[in-house]
Homo-oligomer: A and B are copies of this chain.
Amino acid sequence: MPFVDRLPRRVTVVEVGPRDGLQNEAHPVPTDTKVAFIDRLAAVGLPVIEVTSFVSPTAVPQLADAEEVMRRVARRPGTRYLALVPNERGLDRALAAGCDAIALFTAASEAFSQANVRASIDETFQRFQPVVRRARAAGLWIRGYVSTAFHCPYSGPVDPELALSVTERLFALGCHEVALADTIGRATPREVDRLLALATRLFEPSLLALHFHDTAGLALANVMIGLDYGVTVFDASAGGLGGCPFAPGAPGNLATERLLALLDGLGIETGVDREAVATAVAELRRAVPGIGAHAR
């Protein structure tokens, strides 16, 4: 059977530039510029946009305007606006700002969890429990992230069983979707293949998302492996915003334009206008010169 005939007909692109991207950009971005950028990304057809994070403003100054951004973005019907929530305090803020979709962050590597959120993996789940209970009671949609699902910048290669076990716990907790993330862009297609062979036996492929970084230039190859396993949700960052915090100067987040070039080239529908994404990025760069300089 031709390769493309085995692949999903339609894919959901999750735009993480405004949060995962901007969080790792040194250039401060004014709130007006963020809101305009997010509104443009929604207008070009991106169905899910990770808008901001309700973490401590002192920890991530770039996202200190989380409430204002969340309140001001135009709520386009059919677009899901996602915000990161690290704990109950974050959930309070997210609910007050009118969020209807949140994302929780944990990791497959203990070393990364400790370095990233100063908590063990078990402790992140203890924090998540009341968050998920209240979020579900409020009718929110919930995504769980498994950071360092393949490699950890501190402890090296990650055992697939650890990523699978964290995934299982996130679903058991009540997440609607779990994103497996190659946080440092070191996953090889063989490693992606190995994890997905196991993961898609345990979980519905339609409930999984893949979050690749293009640091080693293999993000699109990894997306192709994901498609071959029937995964239909892929993260990307407009303009490749974000770079790679673990490899200064290298590409980080897979650029949305590159992901769309692949999906368009495979004849897979996304509902997103690739040229218009590039235009939105060009407008952001006009407003904030030098931003996203490390994109591939």
Contacts and interface: CB of A to CB of B under 8 A. Distances in A.
Interface of A: 2-4, 188-191, 193-194, 197, 216-218, 220-221, 224-225, 228-229, 258, 261-262, 264-267, 296
A258 B4 contact: no
Contact of A4 (B193, B217, B267): B193
A190 B224 contact: no
16 contacts: A2-B197, A3-B189, A3-B225, A3-B228, A3-B229, A4-B193, A188-B267, A189-B262, A189-B265, A189-B266, A190-B266, A216-B261, A216-B265, A218-B261, A220-B220, A221-B266
Contact of A265 (B218, B258, B265, B266): B218
A216 B228 CA distance: 22
Contacts of A188: 264-267
A258 B217 contact: yes
B190 A4 contact: yes
Contacts of A4: 189-190, 193
Contacts of A262: 189, 218, 221
A217 B4 CA distance: 18
Given A2-B194, A189-B224, 13 more contacts: A2-B193, A2-B197, A3-B189, A3-B193, A4-B189, A4-B190, A188-B267, A189-B266, A191-B265, A218-B220, A221-B221, A224-B224, A296-B296
A230 B47 CA distance: 36
A222 to B, nearest CB: 9
B221 A265 contact: yes
Nearest to A264: B188
A83 B258 CA distance: 35
A220 B212 CA distance: 16
A139 B3 CA distance: 38
Of A3, A4, A216, the most chain B CB neighbours within 10 A belong to A3
A197 to B, nearest CB: 5
Contacts of A191: 265
Of A2, A191, A221, A265, the most chain B CB neighbours within 10 A belong to A265
A201 to B, nearest CB: 11
A287 B262 CA distance: 36
Nearest to A194: B2
A264 to B, nearest CB: 7
Contacts of A194: 2
A217 B251 CA distance: 14
A267 to B, nearest CB: 5
Nearest to A267: B190
Contacts of A217: 220, 258, 261, 296
